Amino acid sequence: MPFNGSGVFTPPAADFPAVPNTLIQSSKFNNVVNDLVNNGLSFTLTKDGQQISTANQPMGAFRHTGVGATNASGQYGRVDEIQDGSFLYGGTAGGTADALTISTVPSFSAYTTGMTLFFKSSASPNTGAATLQVNGIAGPKAIQNNGSALAAGMIEASKFYSVIYDGTAFQLTKVVGAVGIYMPLAGGAATGAITTSGSGTILGIGTGARMTFQQTSAPTGWTKETSATYNDAALRFQTGTVTTGGAAGFIATMNAAGATATDGSGTSGGFTLTTTEMPSHTHPADTTIGSGGVQVVAEAGSRASSLITGATGGGGSHSHSTPTHSHVLNSFNLKFVDCIIATKD
């Protein structure tokens, strides 16, 4: 009979065990031996690898020890090989600056979406669009920057890079900083302190982006804006569509020292109002009654009644001449810091 499912092998009960001091029959002996071979030994794993497992092998909290280094795809890796990244590191790239080649150990024969590989660039930066061939797999794949072909200098000389296969091309990221942070060349985000050195290429900014710089020349990989529209101009922040405007230069306008403005045409003299220019008004008059009748007098005597004269005056407007005078406009003479605008190549 075979193993009982728990790893215990039991000989056939009809033929085993043999009875002492009795003749062993050949048929029973053969049955026991055949059972050992066919249902016992043939189900065991041999140390020289002749047998293979036909089911999962539970290790009961034990482990394989003394495992050799991985040398082919399909083998499980040792912890030290996983820790040192040797499976994914292709070494220093060969080929040319724009047609890179690398090899991994162990090798693989097909790309898988999401596969991540690392390599060190050669001594020459790329001059434009670039490709990568791994382990001699036919059909080198394009190296892209967030889906776009690389611009010159995006792969710097003798720097470490990682690439992620997206199913069509390798998307490039660069290993930057003393702490080994992986930052996408365009888009994405990185956290933690990042330390860089050397001139290099400014990363994380897409082609065509425009920025201000407090320096005379544009950084490497950028083109300085030299149009007269942007010379001696002030900045205006806008929540809508970005435009330009105005005509006067910033310095000429702000530092216009000693300018004067004159108004008026002479000194102010006397002015006599005409009747039509006077406000409309009346004059009261007093009367006294005497023996000769009613008499209008300037000062009241024995007042009997009051009279009011008719109105006169037109209430029209009038003007005064203004004396000549001037205002002096002082120069603002503001402090300033020059900046340039540059566009990412």
172-225 pLDDT tens trace? 987 654 434 444 554 445 555 555 554 444 456 788 889 999 999 999 889 999
Q: pLDDT per residue over 299-332, tens digit each?
A: 444 444 556 666 777 666 767 666 666 666 666 7
Q: What secondary structure letter does DSSP report for 91?
A: E
Could you tell me which residues are beta bridge partners of residue 141? Answer: 132
Tell me the pLDDT of the chain averaged across its residues: 79
Average pLDDT over residues 36-48: 87
Omega into 323 within 30° of 0, i.e. cis?
no
Is the overall model pTM greater than 0.75, yes or no?
Answer: no
What local confidence, expressed as pLDDT, does residue 265 receive? 56
Annotate 42-66 with DSSP letters as a single string: GGSPPTTS-S--SS----TT----S
What local confidence, expressed as pLDDT, does residue 201 receive? 46
pLDDT at 290 exceeding the cut of 70:
no
pLDDT at 111 exceeding the cut of 90:
yes
Q: Are 219 and 206 in contact (CB under 8 A)?
A: no
| Spatial separation of the C-alpha atoms in residues 96 and 94, rounded to whole Å | 6
| Spatial separation of the C-alpha atoms in residues 119 and 159, rounded to whole Å | 8
Instruction: Count Cα atoms within 13 angstroms, Cβ side, for 200.
Output: 14
Instruction: Kindly provide the residue ranges of all beta strands, DSSP E only, lying in 233-272, ordered along the sequence.
Output: 259-263
Q: pLDDT per residue over 124-179, tens digit each?
A: 999 999 999 999 999 999 999 888 999 999 999 999 999 999 999 999 987 654 43
Question: Which of 257, 260, 256, 255 shows the shortest CA–CA distance to 334?
Answer: 255
pLDDT at 281 exceeding the cut of 80:
no
Instruction: Count Cα atoms within 13 angstroms, Cβ side, for 23.
Output: 3
Phi, psi of 35 (to 5 degrees): -65, -40
- Give the H or E element holding residue 142: strand 141-145
What local confidence, expressed as pLDDT, does residue 296 receive? 53
Q: Are 104 and 116 in contact (CB under 8 A)?
A: no
Q: pLDDT per residue over 19-35, tens digit each?
A: 888 898 898 889 889 88
Residue 267 pLDDT class (50, 70, 90 cuts): low
| Spatial separation of the C-alpha atoms in residues 118 and 97, rounded to whole Å | 16
What local confidence, expressed as pLDDT, does residue 114 receive? 94
Q: Which tokens hold the place of 41?
A: 């030994």
Residue 277 pLDDT class (50, 70, 90 cuts): confident
| Spatial separation of the C-alpha atoms in residues 285 and 294, rounded to whole Å | 13
